[in-house]
Structure 1
């Protein structure tokens, strides 16, 4: 990115970005993205300087056909000591497969909304948490860590508002299970900057026990504003998807995640170092477009960096 601009007061100096495009981004694509294409996309993101990835999910191929090559994709990178590789797991069978495949961490997920949890995994939240306890026992002694994701943390498409206490209770349950990384997921793009600040402050007492991450969708056009709110509260971990790929397949009107290249642009231009190359992320976003065969919603991939100069001959001169 070059020399950082002066930081914004109250913002962290650095942030960690987890790229979720290979999982959250591709899971809803109607046409299967081949294993070599997935591997090439992840490699391009590694080349751009990203080091944290949600690579895949170990789910039923019938439920999510795009993830049927989970073990093969993960095996291409399991020897990369400079990369932290996680996978989403919904149940014990998925956990067993993920551990065998060599993940660094398993992401377990439940919804703050009871209705969404039933729709998303066909279980109550209590049933999900009981299953997580069994997975935690399975993971003991394997070196595989557990991470917890809270879906619909900012609102539910079926119930509307989600009580902040439901988010706090689920986060506390995750800490009790030994999870040291908790993501608040904006599953349907219902987050607003005010809600972000409210929830981050409500979880402040957990910050010493577990890293807090934020995951936004841009459904209503305020994804980066929500990131800005998170930065203002000192949150240093964010999840995003290259090109803005993604959207939950089990909710209506879901659209893509905040684009990784847009997120990096905002952070670096705000004095927050990410360790990523914006130019190479733009190239990775263009590769993602070719892989899925359609235009993606990322903005910086279209406009380029702020100081990218154009020749005066590239546009017409006004007459009159």
Structure 2
């Protein structure tokens, strides 16, 4: 059981990608609020097609906001690692030119989702890891491969464990520095989480493997806890539980950052996150998108606040 877990805040990208676009100024407010929570990693944006994902059309402007936030942080503040998601080499080059050195590249373990998401089969998307990783390394950065539909696909059904494990091994051979297993449609269960982690670690024993869970069917936090008890020290979560994949039917919100921080902190696992600041950020996120997220904790309130804000 680890004593600390690094939570990557994915709200600004995964949380907003299925929402109606909000202004860059609004994103600045959200990013500033998230930076105050103590989170050490933030997925800031995605350099994807603005036609396919209009909410990410201002990626270059968000990069400038990130630099402004870093410049304005108090001396001695813990550094924040900002990352951007990219769909291909062109996106990687745009992200690197904008100042990001931590890149995330998605490969779907299932062909059905890969075709819906990036319009090419898994084998072709996997082969492109080499060029994306090479571009990141040449710029002094790193490439993390996020394995979407690692457990299940909305089109192809259950993803065989061996297929995901072999994909992970090949991604590392092609240059991936880290891996993250994605429960894209929120169908994983704790036992299956541990089974897949065991298989992937056997395939790539020297590589950091994180996890990304959705709470679509109510098991997101249970899966996150299973991953932690199995030794995972990197987890994704989204402020307010916002988010989901626009190319996977029924893929609703991520696990909520504030709920994961409470679960882990109360269990003696350090995340570095200030819960009150995380709740404030989640409340702001709801205001900016104009509707409630899925966070039960935000509705109920933390221990220092008996009840959450009234909701209309």
Q: TM-score, normalised by structure 1?
A: 0.90
Cα deviations by residue, 1:73-119 (Å, 9 ceiling, x for unpaired): 11222362811111111112111101101112111111111111111
Q: Residue 29 of structure 2 is aligned with which of 40, 46, 66?
A: 40
The answer (yes or no) to whether the contact 1:179–1:210 under 8 Å persists in 2 is no
Report the secondary structure of 2:292's partner residue.
Answer: coil
Of structures 1 and 2, the larger Rg is shown by 1
Instruction: Supply the distance in 2 between the matched residues of 1:77 and 1:251 (Cα, whole angstroms).
Output: 29
Please say if 1:183 is aligned against 2:180: yes
Instruction: Supply the distance in 1 between the matched residues of 2:270 and 2:203 (Cα, whole angstroms).
Output: 25
User: Which residue in 2 is equivalent to 1:15?
Assistant: 5
Deviation at 1:271? 0.7
User: Which residue in 2 is equivalent to 1:121?
Assistant: 118
Instruction: Supply the distance in 2 between the matched residues of 1:98 and 1:307 (Cα, whole angstroms).
Output: 40
Instruction: Supply the distance in 1 between the matched residues of 2:37 and 2:137 (Cα, whole angstroms).
Output: 34
User: Which residue in 2 is equivalent to 1:68?
Assistant: 57
Deviates more, 1:300-309 or 1:195-204: 300-309
Please say if 1:52 is aligned against 2:41: yes
The answer (yes or no) to whether the contact 2:129–2:176 under 8 Å persists in 1 is no
Report the secondary structure of 2:147's partner residue.
Answer: strand
User: Which residue in 2 is equivalent to 1:313?
Assistant: none
Deviation at 1:260? 0.3
Instruction: Supply the distance in 2 between the matched residues of 1:104 and 1:273 (Cα, whole angstroms).
Output: 26
Deviation at 1:139? 2.8
Gaps of 5+ in 2: 71-77, 308-312
Instruction: Supply the distance in 2 between the matched residues of 1:37 and 1:220 (Cα, whole angstroms).
Output: 30
Deviation at 1:248? 0.6
Q: Within 5 Å, which residues of 2 pair with 1:225-240? A: 225-240=222-237
User: Which residue in 2 is equivalent to 1:317?
Assistant: none
Size of the aligned set, in residue pairs, is 299
Q: Residue 148 of structure 2 is aligned with which of 135, 146, 151?
A: 151
Cα-Cα RMSD? 1.5
Report the secondary structure of 1:48's partner residue.
Answer: coil
Q: Residue 161 of structure 2 is aligned with which of 138, 143, 164?
A: 164
Cα deviations by residue, 1:235-286 (Å, 9 ceiling, x for unpaired): 1110000000001111111210000000001000111000010011000000
Deviation at 1:38? 0.7
Report the secondary structure of 1:103's partner residue.
Answer: coil
The answer (yes or no) to whether the contact 2:103–2:136 under 8 Å persists in 1 is no
Report the secondary structure of 1:95's partner residue.
Answer: helix
Report the secondary structure of 2:211's partner residue.
Answer: strand
Q: TM-score, normalised by structure 2?
A: 0.92
Deviation at 1:207? 5.8
Q: Residue 28 of structure 1 is aligned with which of 14, 18, 21?
A: 18
User: Which residue in 2 is equivalent to 1:134?
Assistant: 131
Report the secondary structure of 2:44's partner residue.
Answer: strand
Q: Within 5 Å, which residues of 2 pair with 1:236-251? A: 236-251=233-248
Instruction: Supply the distance in 1 between the matched residues of 2:165 and 2:204 (Cα, whole angstroms).
Output: 12
Report the secondary structure of 2:67's partner residue.
Answer: coil
Instruction: Supply the distance in 1 between the matched residues of 2:51 and 2:115 (Cα, whole angstroms).
Output: 18
Report the secondary structure of 1:127's partner residue.
Answer: helix
Instruction: Supply the distance in 1 between the matched residues of 2:304 and 2:87 (Cα, whole angstroms).
Output: 44
Instruction: Supply the distance in 2 between the matched residues of 1:77 and 1:306 (Cα, whole angstroms).
Output: 31
Instruction: Supply the distance in 2 between the matched residues of 1:110 and 1:207 (Cα, whole angstroms).
Output: 17
Deviation at 1:307? 6.2
